[in-house]
A and B are shown apart, each in its own frame.
Chain A
Amino acid sequence: MVSLLPTEDEIILADSARSFLDEVAPVSRLRAMRDAGQGHDHDLWQDMSKLGWAGVLIPKAAGGADMGYAAANILSFEMGKTLAVSPFISTSVIAATVLRQLRTDRANRRLTEIAKGDLVYALAFDGAPKHLQNTPDVMARPSRDGFLLSGPKTLVMEGGVADRLLVSTKVKYGYAVFDIAATQTGLSSSPMNLIDGRDAVRLGFKDVWVSKDDLCGEIDQEEPILKRALLAGYAAVAAELSGIAAGVFALTIAYLKDRQQFGRPIGSFQALQHRVAHLWCEMEVTASTILNAGRMLDSDPDNADLAVSLAKVRAIRTARLAVGEAIQMHGGIGMTDALDLGFYMKRARVASEWLGDESYHTERVAQLRGL
């Protein structure tokens, strides 16, 4: 029986993350980056790494904190609340989960570098605007002790700043994942001008030669190396979305108590009270699915698919409701860039699309429930 109570360690982690982020990485930090046209925050990532966040899923032997997926979700949730920008999900959740499974010296060295905050990874996964649509995608053909990669990748988060890329490809009889330098010859990269101001690129592979040694694990039918990493990524993005909802909700409640119309606070109008109360209920229900997804990834990862997709669907829906209600309940000022609400809305939209949208994860639930 997994307990859906946070442990004492998890409560401490959440508290310390919250006080660090409130002080060091409030939304104003993202605003300043956006205004300066920066998509990556090197200093913040260094600070987070010193706190052990970069190595949250990395074994202690490789310098990590090895706290597990429920803990990673907690960090992701707290970062979502203040919209902190970091390569946490790409690097410390997805890449770390891939590298851990390899058990090679090289992979372990890279894990050590990740834990120190010295190595940033990006995941080059989707070839098309929808997750796992699979057309078009990067194809890998055998050539001289290695492979030639050709094809497009899109929405490569942290793709501009990453040192290394994990690239999913199709080979003739299955799938292969490569771990390559972001500077590989023949690789073209063009920045995406994302609405939420974060760093992402489109990649074009034109006969990019990669060595056999860059292959992660084996060529396979099922992408098993990536599978667990994707699950962990789905859950972490769901947690981030849940944090985004919580962050914007707090702003909304404060405004309802503060803003006066008709001689009283707008939060005294029942039409608004019932809508925020409903939203709060949705957030509570979603919070259960996030905690459960973390618990399942930690205790029974081979059977975590349902828990994870459930969490992502719920988190997408709840975040959409939260950011929409936030702007509506602020009235005109909600539409202005001077307030932070727009940042929440834009981050929520990107996070809803990244690593599988509502339809994708709903269909996964349908399959897993036998419909």
Chain B
Amino acid sequence: MDDLTSFRQETRDWLATNCPAAMRGPTDGDADICWGGCNWQFQSDAQRDWMHAMADQGWTAPTWPTGYGGGGLTRAQEKVLTEEMARIEARSPLDSFGLWMLGPALLQFGSEVQKRHHLPQITRGEIRWCQGYSEPGAGSDLANVQTRAEDAGDHYVVTGQKIWTSYADKADWIFALVRTDRDAPKHQGISFLLIDMASAGVSTRPIKLISGASVFCETFFDGVKVPKDQLVGQTGQGWEIAKYLLTHEREMISGGAQGLLGGRSVMKVLADAEADLKDATLRAEALACEIDTLAVELTLDRYKDMAEGGQGVGDASAMLKYIGTELNKRRHEVMMRAGGSDALEWDGVHGTLAAEWLRTKANSIEGGTSEVMLEIISRRILGLPG
């Protein structure tokens, strides 16, 4: 038996014992997700036990080093873990911006003290993070951020406004892009700060989405004192860190297509609504989606293999984000058509499908729009002139 085979067996046995029955099977939308954080109320004992069991193994962040609360797994082992979890339809134990975005950036750019302090709190679901990038005047043109951080000796004083900050009203901390030098060229005057949302002068106002939920907020900073040891990297290095983090965010968003094969597959929705299979137009579109889903999944796998082999994904994360999100939108259009009038209710026989369908429309906007992704590909990968 090779190492991977025995790892698979051990993992399978461990999951059989530790994954509660209630944590198996597809989630029913946002409401079932475990986000963690200081104020997190577990939706069930099973959800709490599952998150703690996985965190104890380091498997909420399988490939992070064990010293920072991760599992220290290789990519091959991580794939085995993912496959074994999918086999029993185990839910994700913990989803968070800390795991997807901040963690990878801290691993790369954070000081040892920052890593030892923040990363284990992320893997254990103790602190919930949000992302303070976008501003009213800085969307696609993100480097135009105007939120100021004035140097006041041992701390900064932060003043300005962020917008579209997902879950800012529920988060404990925010990682934010701030301008530390107003005279420097636009990309060079930006720094990357970690800010406690409980600090005096921070306030949030939720914004309602077309899908009914209020996941994102306006976030205001009014003379907020931020200790200097909460700066990540050097002053002026913010843009570099922001871009690195975005490549991880984009891979994560593109992976939305991946979970769908295990979860609510287009084919399954069609098969459930048997009559629709006679609709040749719908069937053709569903098949095209299925083919692209399989192909996109292979592409995500291939790029993960490349990353494991030491070739960074880099700018190609723009490709993964673009194809994954555009596909996810198509898949949800097909599912809505398959459901017919039954899918038109907020909470009907198809669960929260309608809300999910509306929510997918943001996939090709958040984390950088599809047009911006194509821009990155044509400039940086294809070398086309500006």
Contact = CB atoms under 8 A, between A and B. Distances in A.
Are both chains from one complex? yes
Interface of A: 1, 3-5, 253, 256-257, 264-265, 267-268, 270, 273-274, 276-278, 280-281, 284-289, 291-292, 306, 310, 313-314, 362, 365-366, 369-371
Interface stretch (B9-17, B42-50, B139-147, B294-302): B294-302
Interface string B298-341: 11011001100100000010010011000000000000000000
A278 B374 contact: yes
Contacts of B384: 253, 256-257, 267-268, 273, 276
Contacts of B298: 4, 285, 288-289, 292
Contacts of B292: 285, 314
Contact of B305 (A3, A264, A287): A3
Interface in B340-386: 371, 373-375, 377-379, 381-386
A257 B385 contact: yes
A265 B287 CA distance: 39
Given A281-B377, A288-B301, A268 B386 contact: yes
A3 B302 CA distance: 8
A145 B312 CA distance: 64
A280 B378 CA distance: 9
25 contacts: A3-B305, A5-B306, A256-B384, A270-B375, A276-B378, A276-B382, A277-B374, A278-B322, A280-B319, A281-B322, A284-B319, A285-B292, A285-B296, A285-B323, A288-B298, A288-B301, A289-B295, A291-B302, A292-B298, A306-B294, A310-B294, A365-B294, A366-B290, A371-B267, A371-B286
B79 interface: yes
Contacts of A270: 375
Given A4-B302, A285-B323, A310-B291, A370 B382 contact: no
A315 to B, nearest CB: 10
Contacts of B271: 370-371
A328 to B, nearest CB: 16
Contact of B309 (A5, A277, A369): A5
A252 B110 CA distance: 43
Contacts of B288: 362
A256 B379 CA distance: 13
A279 to B, nearest CB: 10
Interface residues of B, number: 42
A322 B108 CA distance: 38
Contacts of A5: 302, 305-306, 309
B385 A264 contact: yes
A282 B130 CA distance: 33
A112 B292 CA distance: 40
Contact of A268 (B277, B375, B385): B385
Contacts of B277: 371
Contacts, number: 108
Given A4-B302, A264-B385, A285-B295, 18 more contacts: A257-B384, A267-B384, A273-B379, A274-B374, A280-B319, A281-B377, A287-B302, A288-B299, A289-B298, A306-B294, A310-B295, A313-B291, A365-B287, A366-B287, A366-B290, A369-B267, A371-B283, A371-B286
A312 B267 CA distance: 20
Contacts of A285: 292, 295-296, 298-299, 323
Contacts of A306: 294
A280 B288 CA distance: 19
Contacts of B375: 270, 273-274, 277
Contacts of A292: 298
Nearest to B4: A1
B289 to A, nearest CB: 11
Interface in B1-22: 4
B215 interface: no
Contacts of A3: 305
Interface centre among B76, B271, B323, B377 (most CB of A within 10 A): B377
B360 to A, nearest CB: 18
B53 interface: no
Nearest to A3: B305
B158 interface: no
A280 B316 CA distance: 11
Nearest to B79: A1
B42 to A, nearest CB: 34
A314 B378 contact: no
B382 A280 contact: yes
B80 interface: yes
Contacts of B267: 369-371
A350 B184 CA distance: 58
A353 B367 CA distance: 40
A288 B295 contact: yes
B378 A274 contact: yes
A58 B79 CA distance: 34
Contacts of A371: 267, 270-271, 277, 283, 286-287, 290
Interface string B263-293: 0000100110000010000010011101110
A291 B299 CA distance: 10
A265 B385 contact: yes
A369 B299 CA distance: 19
A362 B291 contact: yes
Given A285-B296, A371-B270, A365 B291 contact: yes
B164 to A, nearest CB: 24
9 interchain residue pairs of minimum CB distance: A4-B302, A273-B378, A277-B377, A288-B298, A277-B374, A288-B299, A274-B374, A267-B384, A277-B378
B214 to A, nearest CB: 33
A268 B302 CA distance: 31
A280 B373 CA distance: 12
Nearest to A310: B294
A366 to B, nearest CB: 5
Contact of B287 (A274, A276, A362): A362
User: Most A CB atoms within 10 A — which of B287, B374, B384, B385?
Assistant: B384
